Chain A
């Protein structure tokens, strides 16, 4: 069965620090990959997504993620975090040709706390 693993459950950083959140998935075929963000008290919003092409994907608010197929990874990065980046981050994968069209498998989420 497909699964998504986010290694860091709770990350605390100071403003201007660099961020990298790990995400690994278990599925050997073609995948679509996503990072969603949930700000306190709000719903999930898309940060970025990967379908094909350039494995380095740029999203909103200065975030980027790199798809490394050989490592089954899709880590999220930001060179300099801001206090407003405090949120929960979810990695998700969809296997469009596996018969589960549309269904996303979500990781457990990583809570990021940025100290001013």
Chain B
């Protein structure tokens, strides 16, 4: 299994531009999580999906952030318009409800820099 796949791995953009981050969970996993990691705030859960349905988006910082999961194998996190304070590493993780541990498997992350 290829694990959780994220793209792009690095993104540099200018303030005001739209940014789209992509995630492919592990095949067969039915929960997907988006996290943001910064030095100042540590690891934050932004939103998570179960069976493609958003369950908890209370961590989404503001309306500029949106996430979708159109099918079981793909999710996007969009920032529009982007701001320098959005610079962070964004991780996607997936898990399976068939796993009694509910272990989450993390992707390699997307390092976003907004100039």
Q: List 24 A-B contacts (CB under 8 A).
A: A32-B100, A34-B101, A34-B103, A42-B108, A43-B91, A43-B107, A44-B43, A45-B106, A46-B103, A46-B105, A49-B103, A51-B100, A96-B100, A96-B102, A100-B56, A101-B31, A102-B31, A102-B102, A102-B104, A103-B33, A103-B48, A103-B56, A104-B102, A106-B42
| Shortest Cβ distance from A90 into B: residue | B43
Chain B residues within 8 Å of A106, by CB: 42-43, 45
Partner of A102, one of B42, B95, B106: B95
Chain B positions 39-67 with a Cβ under 8 Å from a chain A Cβ? 42-43, 45, 48, 50, 55-56
Q: Contact: B102 with A94, CB < 8 Å?
A: yes
Cα separation A96 to B103 with both chains bound (whole Å): 11
Chain A positions 22-81 with a Cβ under 8 Å from a chain B Cβ? 32, 34, 36, 42-46, 49, 51
Asked if A44 meets B102 with Cβ closer than 8 Å, knowing A101-B97, A103-B48, A103-B56, the reply is no
Interface centre among A42, A49, A101 (most CB of B within 10 A): A101
| Shortest Cβ distance from A106 into B: residue | B43
Q: Contact: A102 with B48, CB < 8 Å?
A: yes
* B65-104 contact mask (Cβ, 8 Å, vs A): 1 or 0: 0000000000000000000000000010101010011111
Q: Contact: A51 with B101, CB < 8 Å?
A: yes
Q: Contact: A101 with B50, CB < 8 Å?
A: yes
| Shortest Cβ distance from B30 into A: residue | A102
- Across the A-B interface, give the 8 residue pairs with the lowest CB-CB distance, nearest first: A102-B31, A44-B106, A43-B106, A94-B102, A102-B102, A102-B95, A43-B108, A51-B101
Asked if A102 meets B50 with Cβ closer than 8 Å, knowing A32-B102, A96-B102, A108-B42, the reply is yes
Chain B residues within 8 Å of A104, by CB: 33, 45, 102, 104
Chain A positions 72-113 with a Cβ under 8 Å from a chain B Cβ? 90, 94, 96, 100-104, 106, 108-109
Chain B residues within 8 Å of A102, by CB: 31, 33, 48, 50, 95, 97, 102, 104
Asked if A44 meets B91 with Cβ closer than 8 Å, knowing A49-B103, A51-B100, A104-B102, the reply is yes
Cα separation A42 to B48 with both chains bound (whole Å): 22
| Shortest Cβ distance from B56 into A: residue | A103
